[in-house]
Structure formats: C-alpha cells, structure tokens
Chains A and B, each alone.
Chain A
Amino acid sequence: MKQAGGMSEVGRSLPKIDALGLVRGTPAYTDDLAPREALCVVAVRSPHAHARILSIDATAALALPGVLAVFTWKDVPRVAVTRAGQGHPEPSPRDRFILDEYVRHVGDEAAIVAAETEEQAREAVRAVRVEYEVLAPVLDFETSLDNPVVLHPEPEIHENFPIGFEPRRNVASAYSMHVGDVDAVVAGAEVVLRRRYYTQAQQHVALEPHCACTWLDVHGRLNVMSSTQTPWHVRRIMARALEREVKEIRVVKPRIGGGFGGKQMLHGELYCALATLRTGRPAKMVYTRREVFEATNTRHPMRLDVTLGADRDGTLRAIDLEVLSDTGAYGEHALTVFMVAGAKTLPLYNKVEAVRFGGRTVYTNRVPGGAYRGYGAIQGNFALESALDELADELGLDPVALREKNMIAEGETSPIFAIMGEGTEGVEMIIESCKLPECIRRGKELIGWDAKGPRREVAPGVFRGLGMALAMQGSGIPTIDMAAATLKLNDFGSFNLLIGATDLGTGSDTILAQIAAETLGVATGDIIVYASDTDRTPFDTGAYASSTTYVSGHAVQTAALKMRQEILVEGARSLGCEPALATFDGNEVRGPDGAITLRDLSAKLLYNEHQKQLMTTGSHLCEKSPPPYMAAFAEVEVDAATGEVTLVDYVAVVDCGQAINPNLALVQVEGGLAQGIGMALWEEVVYGPQGHLRTRDLMSYKIPGREDIPSIRAELVESHEPSGPYGAKSVGEIGIDTPPAAIANAVAAAVGARVRELPVTPEKVLNGMGAPRGQNR
C-alpha cells in the first residue's frame, strides 16, 4: 500500500524484526551464546582509589581447583591504548594498559583470574594476595589541575594528535575557540548574566551488564563476541593492545541488552583474550552489576560557567561557556564529550555577535567518564537552557519568546559548525531542516503553556510550575563516521542485507531493512538482516553519535540503488531488450515485449542462464551532521514545605526529519526522556570520602521505575532533511537532552528555587527557596 509521498515501507510503524524472538527469550545475547565450556574470567579489583601495586602473589590462587591462569601487569604487553571505541587514530589519549602497575579508582583491575567455573574464579580472586602502596587520591575535580598528586606519570602514554594532553598537570584534554570579541560585546551589553552550573556522574544501567567471550576457531584466529556498539574499533584496539595483527581477530556483535554509549568502550574483551590465548580455551567475562558501577564508565561530571550578554529587548549578543570536565581515572571520550557540550548547544542561538567556548578535562581517582547518550550536549544544555531562563526572568520576558527571538532557523548557519567538530575541525553547514517553530507551537499547546501560566498554587503550600527547554543534537560525525552495507540477491527473490551497523536495541536493523525494501520496491519481510561481524559484513564505525539512521541508512540506500540497477540490467538481458527500455517495480522487470518476475529472474541467475551472483555494496561518509531539534515542556508540582518535586507532565516535540519507523522513533524519544528525567531528579553516582562508591547497585542508585514516570507525551513534527536517506535525521540521543533544564526551570517557576546543581533534590529545592528572591528570580 502506497503512503503519502509514494512510500510503502519507509514511514510505517512496522514491528521490530527481532521483537518476537526476544520476547520469547530466544538465546540471543552474548552470555546466552557463549560456549558452554568457556572458562570464567573474573578481575581482582582495587579496594583503593589510588595505589601502586608492590607485589602480587598468586600461588595460593593457582593452587585452587579449576584455576588455570592469573595475569598481572607483568604478563601483558606494555602498550598504551585507549579503551574508547572511536575512530582511528582515537581523539582520546592513550593512557591505559591491559593491566598496569598503578590502580586509579576503586574497582580498577589489579589482576585477572581464569577458572573452569565462576565459583572457582571468584574463590581464586579472593586468594590472590596484592600488596599495595596506597597513594593520596584526587577525588575533587576542581582541585585536580596542577595537583601535586599526578595520576598518570607513566612515560608511554600519549595523545594521537594535539588534544591539549598534559598528564603532568592532570589534564586529559583542553580546547578553546571564539568567534568575535566576547569580552567587548559583554562589556557593551545592557544586561549581563553570569552563572555556574554543575552536572553529575550518571550511570547508563543498560539492563544487560557488560559481557564478552572469546574462542579460537579452526584457523587459530581469535574470535570475540561482545556486547559492543563498535565491533571494528574493538578489533583494532584489541590488536594494538595484544600486539597482534588486525587480521588475526574477528569481532561479532550479537543482540545487545541496551548500550546508551556504555558499550562504546572496551571492557572484558581484552581479559577474555588473555585467557583464550594462554590456554587455547574459550573464555567469557560477565560483569556483575556492582562491577558495571565500579569498573565501566559514567557520564562526565562537569562544571559549566555561562556568561550571557543581552539587550533589554531580549536580543542575545554574546555567549561564553567555560567548562571543567571530570574524566575520572582515564581519558575515555574526554575531549569529545567536553567539546560537544559547546558544539551541540551553542549553534541553537546562532545570531550572537560573539561566542566563546573553552576549558579542560581533568583526571580524578573516580570511575572513568565515557560516552553516554547526549555525550556532553545534555550537560551543556542544562547550563545554557537554565541560564536563558534566568535571563528571561531578569528581563521580564516569556522564556519561550526569548528563545524564539534568538534561535536558529532553516536556511541559516552557525560559524561553530565549521570550527568545532569532535576532536577536530568541523564542517560548514547550512541548516536545511529546522522545525523548531512548529515544535514550540505544538508543545505549548499540549502542555497548556499560555492557559496555565508559569505558576499555580494547587493546594495550600503546593505549587505547580511550567518550564521548558530547546535542544539540538547531530546526525553522525562529519568526515569521520563511515558506514557500508551489502545486498545479496538470493534465489527466489529475497535479499541478504549485510551491515556493519550495530543495533543496540534501538531497532536499527529494522529501519535499515525498511530503507532497503523501500529502495528496492520489495517488502521489508524479504530483507534478511545480518549485522555487525568484522569478518562477514562490511565496515561501520559503530552505533554512536546518532549516526545509524543518517549514515548507515545512506549506505543501505546506495547499495539498494545499485542493486536495482543490476536487476534491471539482468532482467533486460533475460527479456532481450535494452536496459533503458526496461523498468523494475520491485516485483518484476518489464520490457516492451514481456516481463519476468524477480522471483524467476533470481532463480535463473543462479541456476539456469547467465549465472552470476548479484551483490552490491554502498558506503557512505558522513559529510554533514544535520541536527534534530526538540522543544520540551515540563510541569512539576513542588511541595514548598518539603521541597519534594513531582513531575506531573512532560511534553516533547521532535523534528527528526522523516521518521523511517515512527513508533520506533517515538520510543527512542520516550526512552531518552526517561533517562533524562532520571538524571534531572534522582540519578547520581555518589562516592564516600575515600573514593569508594556508595551507589553500586540498583537499590542505592535509582533509575526511573514505571511508577516514577508520569505521562510522557512525545510527538514528531513533519519534517524532511534533504541530505538524509528519505529525508531522515537522527533521533537516538536528542530525547535525553532537555529534562534537566526543563525540570529545573519548572521548579524555579513553581517555587522560585533555582537549582544549578543536578540532580534537583528536595534539599536543594528547600535551600534555593530560602535564598533572597533577587538572587533567584
């Protein structure tokens, strides 16, 4: 059935192609598929935030039944790597080894044990004797710069290209840029607002903990199955760390139980590989939830200083954003997350005369920062969108009107696009699709912005307030993100779609099949998807930076266009006519004197005449990164006596271009909102005074449950991005960006408490209410 725009597969809310299998519990995730006889690999983890390992005595552990190997830093190659799954060479510092003489956070790996069973491995872990020289830790990131305690004194570590890496000063990366003279414009502005905001460490809490397994195949090659977002980066980094050739390693991604950026770093892969390479046996490592908290990554906490210069009429004239980011013990994604805090927020307000962004990421003895959905944009958004609200308050303007006056529009650009990429320069870009005005109009209508007003007392001492925020993200990393797809025509008319893109649960396998089907003119059910295997599918940089729909989708479309052409040529040959005179409608190739069905043609091509395999490959390099946009509105209820905040309603209206699968796009937004609401109100990785995690399970670290999330109402507006496949942009990250600012703004509207430090807890609300009004409103 043809839909509006003449499309029959794209734009339909088809069910996810793997949905039923997963609901039935079909073995599909790494731990389900790991060889039954795999050795269990468990890490000996540091009890100290900062220490040097003086000695490791594994004699007792090795004497235990079932224990095959214990590895220490002396047993592994001394090669500096980063564990950040990023392009080559990585923009993160190579500041890590498979195992090191130093441990830099509680939970850091001190040694690795491999045993026949998990019980035996855990027993052995307890029997390994590690002697530590405990060192003073750096736990407060605001004291890290030039602290006498240096986290990374080792000589082998390095940056791959200039990223401002100064390990002797505890600096993992630094960056600054400016357009125009910010100080002069601020000095001449009628109103100046300076504010400091803090964002906290958040944990991804994908419900499937990190997991990897390894085995040697019949050719002696190291096979790796991993719950990873970036199989190719994992393979490349493993080869370097293990001093092997890339060709000796194969990485496969099965189904993934959620990622959100948390699986864009290497975790157990290298440790399993040690065990397999030493013993020749399959090995697996499944993280406990506690290990996920203590020894994977978090969102980078940040301190953000915002200065806004404006005129009384609400004309924004200058923005200055200075950031200090805490990358924890290692610099995974240190530079790029920090840069995105500016790169994917500041262009929203592109009409300013001057704009400046700069700062550093510093090391601390905490769990390393890493990629996490939003990737800096959510931190920057909280600061910028809170500050704009504070400015609106000061000017006596409607916060929406202030934004409408200054926000970016279709046909416009921002100098920041060309200046700031992710770790490198960006590319110039004219915005071809931006439906912010529609998003705002619809959002106001849904929440009742004008009708309700900013604040109402709904019961004695109980106030409701409305707040809002805008957001943008990107669609892939220009000049870096590359994806490829191969289509193979099978006998009797089906196609294999081989893609490097990694579906983490987002439904990308489904939407990529829809794009292939649309282009070929066939049904999505005729596309058999096989994804993410470094041996058997073409390359893809991976699922991150909101790239899959836009970048991988393009590659699929290109492969399918080529396949159409080949089918046309072969069909015409079979019909004995010129290809120019033939047409292909997905069902049959038709010439002037007859037609042949795809079913028949495909069978003939393999069995009967002019036998050949039709196989086409498309690849796509991301050339620009059109932002999806969103307007979000929150309604909160605040009890002025307790500071308790209840989220009553959340409305999010999104411009993601043409949605390939509207249901799947909407649930991406809803899921992002839930995580953003969690960050706004509850989620925080908390440490004790010695750097021990206080939040290391799902009781002490609260993720939103179904009773915590009110009516989330997400809608998509009609939009078409000319540069995207079928008009699509991305939608994976944008949903998470707005809740911290929109909720903080709503709380300020309700009770006058301006919380500038996330999460918005009752204590902070009460404290904020106590302050003199002039400072808050």
Chain B
Amino acid sequence: MNISLELNGRRADWDVEPGEALLDALRRHGVLSVKRGCDTASCGTCTVLLDGMPVPSCAVPAPRADGRAVTTVEGLPGEAARLGACLAAEGADQCGFCAPGLVVAVVAMSRELADPDEAAINHYLAGNLCRCGGYVSQTRAIRRYLQEAR
C-alpha cells in the first residue's frame, strides 16, 4: 500500500506492506540509523520520533506513519553531534549500536522535561538499553548535554 509521510522534514511516498514494521520500511528505504536489536519492542535501538513522540519503530506498523512526521537521527544532525561529543568526552560510547536510538530519545526528553534529575533521566530512558557500558558514563554525558543545551 502507498503511504506518504514527512521523513526528517521531507515528504516521502512509499509503497509498504500492510504488516511491515516502520523500522523495516525505514531500513528498506536506506534510513540505516535505525537498528533492530530485538523482536519485542524491548531495546530501544529503533527509537524514532512519530509526530514528536519517541516510539520503538519496530512496534509501529508502517501504514500508521501515513500522513505523519517521522524523525530519525539523520534528521537531528546538530543534536547528534552535540550529544555525540558529550558521549565521546565521557568515553560513554562503545559499540555505538544503541547510540542513534538514544539520541532520538534524549532529544524527546529534553523537549518534554524541563530539568530532569538523574532518576528522571533513568526513568525516561529506561527503554533504551546498552549492553556495552554500565550506564553511569552515559548518564554523565547526557547530563552534560542537557546542561550545554540550556
């Protein structure tokens, strides 16, 4: 079926399968920052903004993106560069597989929460798993990013 969405600020007209996940449709169309880390909407590596709300794109049927705005890390280059610099400065980035989804989620959080403390950050980002680090360096980097963003 045909859908038309706003992908990272540009209109995209796609032919998708009715049962296809938005994640798979994105990757099929060359949007490769979104990753598949699980089968059960549990890991957050596929996080995108759907009309500004962070969602696991593996759990969103592609047809539901029809007429809506989808944002991936490719559409957030400035935020990705700034958060990326903070992650790198803390040594918090390891394999990087979780990073694009994390950036998207952090951007959503920074728009939604005024001044989140550590517990609020951990709660908001609970769905974004990382297997390489112990989260503490990541949290330090995220706080630094939020501070710099203010």
Residues of A in contact with B (beta carbons under 8 Å apart): 13, 15-16, 18-20, 22-29, 31-32, 119, 204-209, 255-258, 260, 286, 288-290, 504-507, 661-664, 666-667, 670-671, 673-675, 697-699, 703-707, 709, 711-712, 714
Per a CB cutoff under 8 Å, which of A23, A255, A286, A699 touches B80?
A23
Residue picked from B85, B132, B137, B138, most chain A C-beta under 10 Å: B132
B40: chain A residues within 8 A (beta carbon): 289, 697-699
Report whether B88 and A706 are in contact in the complex, using a CB–CB cutoff of 8 Å.
Answer: no
Measured between beta carbons, the chain A residues less than 8 angstroms from B83 are: 23
User: A673 — nearest CB in chain B belongs to which residue?
Assistant: B134
Asked if A706 contacts B72 (CB within 8 A), the reply is no
Interface membership of B42, Cβ < 8 A: yes
Residue in A13, A19, A207, A712 whose CB lies within 8 Å of B97: A207
Q: Which of B36, B100, B122 contacts A209 (CB 8 A)?
A: B36
Q: Which residue of A lies closest to B99 (CB)?
A: A23
A18 to B123, CA, bound (A): 28
Cβ of B91 and Cβ of A707 under 8 Å apart? no
Residues of A near B125 (CB, < 8 A) are: 706
Question: Given the complex of chains A and B, what is the CA–CA distance between A450 and B95 in angstroms?
Answer: 39
Alpha-carbon distance A664/B17, docked complex (angstroms): 43
**Sample of 7 A–B contacts (CB below 8 Å):** A31-B27, A207-B35, A207-B97, A258-B94, A258-B97, A670-B137, A709-B135
**Complex contacts, A673 vs chain B, CB 8 Å:** 134
Query: In whole angstroms, what is the CA distance A15 to B85 when docked?
Result: 8
Q: With an 8 A cutoff between CB atoms, is B37 at the interface?
A: yes
CB pair A697–B38 under 8 Å, yes or no, is yes
Question: A204 — which chain B residues lie within 8 A by C-beta?
Answer: 131
Nearest CB of B to A203, in Å: 10
Q: Are B136 and A256 in contact (CB under 8 A)?
A: no
Size bracket, chain B contacts: 35 or more
| A706 & B139 in contact (Cβ 8 Å cutoff) | yes
Q: Is the CB of B36 within 8 A of A255?
A: no
Q: Mark B62-92, 1 if CB is under 8 A from A, else 0.
A: 0000000000111001001101110111111
Q: Is the CB of B131 within 8 A of A206?
A: yes
Q: How far is the CB of A294 from chain B (nearest CB, A)?
A: 12
Query: Are B95 and A257 in contact, CB atoms less than 8 angstroms apart?
Result: yes
Chain B residue with the shortest CB-CB distance to A36 = B30
The 10 tightest CB contacts between A and B, nearest first, are: A25-B33, A505-B95, A663-B91, A22-B96, A670-B134, A257-B97, A23-B84, A15-B88, A698-B42, A19-B88
Knowing A706-B139, A707-B123, the reply to whether A25 touches B91 (Cβ < 8 A) is no
Query: Taking the complex as formed, is B146 at the interface, i.e. its CB lies under 8 A from any CB of chain A?
Result: no
Q: At the interface, is chain A mostly helix, strand, loop or mixed?
A: loop
Residues B80 and A206 in contact, CB atoms below 8 Å apart: no
Centre residue among A15, A207, A711 by max chain B CB count within 10 A: A207
Q: How far is the CA of A607 from the CA of B98 in the complex (A)?
A: 45
What is the CA–CA distance of A418 and B80 in the complex, to the nearest angstrom? 50
Q: Which residues of A contact B39 (CB under 8 A)?
A: 288-290, 697
Determine whether B16 belongs to the interface, using a CB cutoff of 8 Å to chain A: no
Residues from chain A with a CB closer than 8 A to the CB of B97 are 22, 29, 206-208, 257-258, 505
Which B residue's beta carbon lies closest to that of A713?
B136
Cα-based distance from A289 to B41 in the complex (angstroms): 11
Q: Which residue of A lies closest to B89 (CB)?
A: A15
Task: Check A671 against B74 for contact (C-beta < 8 Å).
Answer: no
* Complex CA–CA separation, A504 to B130 (angstroms): 14
Q: Which residue of A lies closest to B128 (CB)?
A: A706
* B57 at interface by CB-CB < 8 Å: no
- Please, which residues of chain B bring their CB within 8 A of the CB of A704? 135
Task: Please pick, from B36, B73, B137, the residue contacting A666 in the complex, using a CB distance under 8 A.
Answer: B137
0/1 interface trace, chain B 1-12, chain A, CB 8 Å (1 if under): 000000000000
CB distance from B29 to the nearest CB of A (A): 11
Query: In the complex the two chains form, is B74's CB within 8 Å of A25's CB?
Result: yes
A712 and B136 contact, CB distance less than 8 A:
yes
Q: Are A25 and B93 in contact, with the CB atoms below 8 A? A: no
Inter-subunit contact B137/A667 (CB<8 Å): yes
Q: List, in ascending order, chain B residues with CB within 8 A of A257's CB.
A: 35, 37, 95-97
**B42 → chain A, closest Cβ, in Å?**
4
Residues in A with CB closer than 8 Å to B134 are 667, 670-671, 673-674, 709, 712, 714
Residues of chain B contacted by A15 (CB below 8 angstroms): 85, 88-89, 91
**8 Å CB contact of B122 from A208, A666, A707, A712:** A707
- For the complex, give the distance between the alpha carbons of A711 and B80 in Å: 26
Q: Which residue of A lies closest to B123 (CB)?
A: A707
Give Cα A20–Cα B33 distance, bound, in whole angstroms. Answer: 13
Partner of A670, one of B42, B81, B100, B136: B136
Specify which of B94, B100, B137 is in contact with A25 (CB 8 Å cutoff). Answer: B100
Knowing A23-B96, A258-B94, A706-B126, the reply to whether A16 touches B131 (Cβ < 8 A) is: no
Determine if A711 and B77 form an interchain contact, defined as CB atoms under 8 angstroms apart: no
Q: Are A667 and B123 in contact (CB under 8 A)?
A: no
Partner of B126, one of A32, A504, A663, A707: A707
Q: Would you give the 0/1 interface string for B102-113, flagging 1 where the beta carbon is closer than 8 Å to chain A?
A: 010000000000
Residue of A nearest to B127 (CB): A705
* B38 shortest CB reach to chain A, Å: 4
* Residue B53 is within 8 A (CB to CB) of chain A in the complex: no
Closest to B20 in A: A119
* Complex contact B100–A23 (CB within 8 A): yes
Chain A residue nearest in CB terms to B74: A25
Residues in A whose Cβ lies below 8 Å from that of B35 = 29, 207-208, 257
Chain B residue, CB-CB nearest to A119: B17
Q: How far is the CB of A701 from chain B (nearest CB, A)?
A: 10
The answer to the question of B32 belonging to the interface, with a C-beta cut-off of 8 Å to chain A, is: yes
Task: Check: B59 CB closer than 8 A to any chain A CB.
Answer: no
Contacts of A707 in B (CB 8 A): 122-123, 126
Are B38 and A22 interface neighbours, CB within 8 A?
no
Residue from A13, A205, A286, A505 with most neighbouring chain B CB atoms (10 Å): A505
CB distance from A705 to the nearest CB of B (A): 5
> How many angstroms from the CA of A670 to the CA of B137 in the assembled complex?
8
CB of B95 within 8 A of CB of A256, answer: yes
- Chain A residues in 8 Å Cβ range of B49: none
Query: Contacts A19-B88, A207-B95, A504-B95: A709 and B136 contacting too (C-beta < 8 A)?
Result: yes
